[in-house]
Structure 1
C-alpha cells in the first residue's frame, strides 16, 4: 500500500528537529516493519514462547540489525532507481532469476494471505462466538477488496499508519502479567540454545517469518513510488538517504519489539501450561483463563488489527511483482479502470487465499509450506540484493558501505543455513 509520502527536504536554513521531524519521515519503512508482524508471524512467536518460554527472546536482538540492513538496501535501491525490485531484476539480470522468484513467491504469498485470513476469522469468532469463523473470513475479505479498490492510496495508507498502533497492544500485555524481569533480561542478552531438533526448527521458523522475501519487493516499490509521487523534486543526497535509513530502522525495530513481547507474553503465561499452539486463536484462547480477560482481549484485537495491516501489503506486493514482470499498468494511486490487471491480481490473491480455508488445509500446514517456499527464495534474493546494491551501474555513488555488506553477508549465511535446515527437518518429519 502506498504509504504517506515522506516530505521532501527543503533548502530552508531552519530544519525541523526532534520527535516531530522524526515522525514526519516515517512512512514505507514503518509500515513494512509493522506488516511483518502478521497473524502468521504471531502464531510462530506464540509457539516459540509456549514451547520454550523465554529461551528464544535473544533472537529479537539478532534479527533486528539483519532485517534493517537488508530492508535499507531494498529501500535505497527503490529510491535511487525510482523502480521496484522486480523491474531492476528484469532489466539487469537473467530472466531465469525473475521466473524462479515468481515460481516460489506467488504460492508462498497466497498461502500467507490464506493463513492470515483464517487467523483473523477464528479470533473474531472467539470474541463474538455467535458468528462462525468462516463468515468473519468472508466478510473481512470483502472489506479488504472494497477498501483497496475503492479508496485512493493516500487514504488507505493513512489508515495503515494508524493500524501500526495495534502493535502497542502486544507491548502492553506483559506489563499486566508482572513477569520476572530479571529472568527476562538474562534470556534476552544471553543466548540460551538447546541443541534439539524442535528448538533448532523454531529458530529456523523465526528467521523465515521475520526476513520474508515479499517485504524486499514491497520496500523497494514503496520507496520508488514515494519518490515518483512527490510534488517536489527530491535530490538523492545523504540527508534523504539518512531519513530513509531512520524510517527503515524504526520499522524494523518496532517489528522486532513486537516479536519480543509476544514471545515474552506467551512464555510467561503459556509455557508449562500448554504443550502445543498451532494457531493464533489457540494462543488467544489459552491466555484468557491464565492471564485474564483484558490480556486475552488485547492479544485478540491485536491479531485482527495486524491482519488488516499485513494482508494489503501481501496482496499489494504480489500484484506489483506480477505487474512489473509483465509490464502492466500498476499503482494503488490509479483507479481500477486504469490498472485493471493490477487490481485483478489483488482481488484474485485474496479470493484464492480465502478459498484455502475451505479445502481442508490447516493454517499451520500453510505456514510450514510458506516457510519452505520463503526459505528457498530468501537466500537467492538476498544475494541478488547484495549484488544490486554494490553495482555502480545501477546505484552510481549510492552503493553499500562496509557495514551494510557485512550485515548482508551474515544474513545471507544465516538464511542459507536456515533454508537447508528447514528442508532437512521437514524431510525427516521434524
Structure 2
C-alpha cells in the first residue's frame, strides 16, 4: 500500500513589522525637535507669528534628501560618515569636520540639559543643579549599560512625547486659514533679525548631528542582523533596504517638521498675539504660555521639553562619540559591551559631562539654546559638502553612488544652508 506523502507546510511570507521599518529615520527625526529646536521654533512663532511656517514646508524635501543620503552611505559601506571620510580623505580635512561636530554637539547638549532642568523646575519646584546632574547621569547610564535593542526600542517610545505639541496646538485656537496662507505664500523680510531666525530654523532642522547619527545607526542595525551585510558586499539586499530607508526617512522627517510647525503655531497664536515676542529658551516659552493659554497648555508644553530632551541628549552624545571614534579608529557602537569599547563610551560620558558643566559657566547655555541652532546651521555647510562629494563617488558608494534626483536635492539643501549662513552674516545688525 503506497504511503501518502507527508503534507508540506506552506510558509506565508512574513510581513514587515513596524519596528523593522521605523528605525533610525524615525528616531533621528524625533530627536530633531530637541529643547534647542523647541526654543528656536518658539522664538520664530513669538517674534514673527505665522510668517515663518513656510520654512518647515520648504526644508522638508531638503532634510529628507540629506538624511537619506547619510543613511544610504552607512548601509551601503558599513561605515559611518567619519569612517568614510577617514578612509577616502586626508586627516587635515577629517579632524576639523569632526571638531566642528563635537563643538556644536557639546554646546547643544549642554543647552538641552539646562532646558530640561528648567522645564522640570517649572513643574516640580526643586534645585535645577540636581536636575541637570540627574538627566546627565541617566543618559550616560542608559547608553552604556542598556543593550542596544532595548535602548533603540526605548528611543522609539520616547518619540511619543512629541505628541504633547499636537495637543497644545488644538488648545490655543489657531486661525488655520491665516496659518495656511503663510505656509504657502511666504512673507519674507531681508532684515538681519529675520534672516538670523531663518538660519536658526534651518540649523535646528538640518543639523550635523542628525547626519552622523542616522548613518551610524544604519551601521548598527546592519551589524545586529546576522543575515545583513553592507550593500557593497550584498547588492541583492539593496531593493528591500533602499525602500525601507526611504520610508523610514520620509516618515521620520515628516513627523519632525509637523511637530515643529505645531510648536510654531502654538507660540504664534498665544505669545505673538499678545505681544510677547522675545523668547530665548524653551522653558521661557512654556512659562509665558501659562497666563495666556492656561495651565493645561503650559503643562504639556513643559513635559514635551523634558521628553524630547531625553530623546535628543543621547543622540547628541552618541553621534559625537561615533564621529570621534571612527576618526581615531576606536571600536565603536552602542551594541558593544562597555569593556570592549571603553574609549567610545568614555567619549559619550565626557561629552555629556562637559555639556552639563557648561550650565555652570558664564556661557549659560540655557540662554544659548537659540544660538546653538545658529551654530549648527553654520557648521552644517562644510559637513554637507563633504557628504555630497563622498556620496557621488563610485570609489565610496560603488554602484550605489547618488541618483540624479537625490543628488540634485542634496546639493540644493547644501546651497540653501550656504546662502542662509552668508545672508545672516551679511545683514548682521541690519
Displacement of 1:157: 1.2
Match of 1:106 among 102, 117, 126: 102
CA distance in 2, matches of 1:23, 1:329: 27
CA RMSD in angstroms comes to: 1.8
Matched, 1:144 2:144: no
CA, structure 1 residues 137+364, in 2 after alignment: closer, same or farther (shift >3 Å)? closer
Which residue of structure 2 aligns with residue 32 of structure 1? 28
Q: Are 1:306 and 2:339 counterparts?
A: no
Q: Distance in 2 between matches of 1:31 and 1:102?
A: 22
Distance 1:38 1:123 in 2: 13
Partner of 2:7: none
Q: Does the CA-based 8 Å contact 1:389-1:400 persist in structure 2?
A: yes
Q: TM-score, structure 2 length as denominator?
A: 0.92
2:152 maps to what in 1? 157
Number of the residue aligned with 2:48: 52
Query: Who is 1:9 aligned against?
Result: none
Distance 1:154 1:390, change over 3 A: same
Task: Look up the match of 2:264.
Answer: 263
Aligned to 1:360: 362
Q: 1:414 aligns with which of 392, 398, 416?
A: 416
Residues 36 and 369, structure 2, Cα contact 8 Å, conserved in 1: yes
Of 137-146 and 311-320, the range deviating more from structure 2? 137-146
1:196 deviates by 2.2
Q: Which runs of 4+ in 1 moved over 4 A?
A: 12-17, 20-23
Instruction: Give 1:16 shift.
Output: 5.9
2:69 maps to 1:78: no
* Contact 1:80-1:236 at 8 Å conserved across structures: no
Deviation at 1:191, TM superposition (A): 1.2
Gap runs ≥5 in structure 2 = 1-9, 230-235
1:267-319: CA deviations, max 9, x gaps? 01110421310111110001111111111111110100000000000000001
Distance 1:174 1:312 in 2: 27
Q: How many Å apart are 1:78 and its aligned residue? A: 0.4
Q: How many residues align?
A: 414
Give the alignment's TM-score, normalised by structure 1: 0.92
Whole-angstrom distance in 2 between the partners of 1:380 and 1:59:
21
1:391 aligns with 2:378: no
CA drift of 1:204 comes to 1.1
Q: Bigger radius of gyration, 1 or 2?
A: 2
Q: Give deviations 1:331-367, integer Å, cap 9, x for gaps.
A: 1112221111111111111111111011122336634
Once structures 1 and 2 are overlaid, which stretch shifts more, 140-149 or 416-425?
Answer: 416-425
Tell me how far apart the structure 2 counterparts of residues 211 and 351 of structure 1 sit (CA, whole Å).
25
Structure 1 residue ranges without an equivalent (≥5): 1-11
User: Paired residue for 1:227?
Assistant: 222
**Does residue 91 in structure 1 map to residue 87 in structure 2?**
yes
CA–CA separation in structure 2 for the residues paired with 1:50 and 1:429: 20
Report how far residue 216 of structure 1 moved.
0.9
Query: Which residue of structure 1 lines up, in the alignment, with residue 233 of structure 2?
Result: none
Q: Which moved more, 1:178-187 or 1:206-215?
A: 178-187
1:24 deviation in Å? 3.4
Contact 2:36 2:373 in 1 (8 A): no
